[in-house]
Amino acid sequence: MSQLTANEIASIKDMVLDPSIRYMPLGTLARHAQRISKVFTSAATWRRVVRERGWRRPRLRIHPPKPTVGIRATKPNKLWHIDVSIIKLLDGSKAYIHAAIDNYSRKIVAWTIGARLDPMATCAVLFEAGKLLCTGADRPTLIADSGDENVNAAVNANLLESGLRRVLAQVDVTESNSMIEAFWRSLKHNWLYLNSLDSIERLRCLVQFFVQAHNSQMPHSAFHGHTPDEIYAASAPNLLQDLADKKAHARQRRLTANRALSCARCTVSPVFSTRLHLHPPES
């Protein structure tokens, strides 16, 4: 007896599909309908009616186009990305992982862990990464976020001394620092969160293992089989051709093995074969 009338349902439909009030959430819209004396019913009833009738509100979000490919270097040690990620340990304390990644090869060139957000940690990462550079070689451009750990007097002095040029992501350049952020996601969700993070020493061992595996063991999807170390050092120039040859050989072996198989259904028994010979089908 207390079900909505046809006029109330029509009013709900008009308000739900009205583009001029699409900025109101459904619960707010239900209360607004009461304020303007149109429909007096709960927000839960509105949601049920909308769900049952399949009404779609004109609330499609329009986003600016995003670049599908970010900034890319043409050789190793041309662009480095540096960032810090925070890990919460089981006791509630925090650890701060600083790392730098080479844009061209995706190799982690240096990293460190601290119990606090220390501006000198960025300097330590840059100093360690600088050991990979040859004397007299061009200095990389450093892409960093505009956080205090990257923009301070100590880092500025280190950059000036080492000849590095720093650009701030989405400030000096339109691109983001997504390459190092992608590594953080892989590190956390593929490895760290699968382990018990009970101390910073334990965390340091886990990060060391994963960085080693990332650089030397895990083929990166961007390189179709090469690891970051191989791309960084150009140490496996014939790998893709070798993999293609092995794939072709494996396919041929698979075909040969499958063709050699037989089963009871495919094998004709001697008695059945004799009967077929004695009683050929009528033409």
pLDDT of the residue at 264: 63
Total residue count of the chain as it appears in this document: 283
Is it the case that residue 135 has pLDDT exceeding 90? no
122 burial level (CB within 10 Å; 0-12, 13-18, 19+): buried
DSSP class of residue 139 equals: P
Reported confidence tier of residue 173, pLDDT bands at 50, 70, 90: confident
Alpha helix ranges (H) inside the chain: 6-16, 26-35, 43-53, 119-130, 153-162, 178-190, 200-216, 228-233, 239-260, 270-278
Q: Which CATH number fits domain 79-233: 3.40.50.720, 3.30.420.10, 1.10.3210.10, 3.40.190.10?
A: 3.30.420.10
Question: Which residue shows structure tokens 């619960």?
Answer: 27
Per-residue model confidence as pLDDT tens digits over 265-275: 665 555 555 55
Whole-model pTM? 0.71
Where do the structural domains in the chain lie, given as residue ranges?
6-53, 79-233
Up-side HSE of residue 103: CA atoms within 13 Å toward CB?
22
Least confident of 20-34, 92-106, 258-272: 258-272
When pLDDT is cut at 50, 70 and 90, the band that residue 118 belongs to is confident
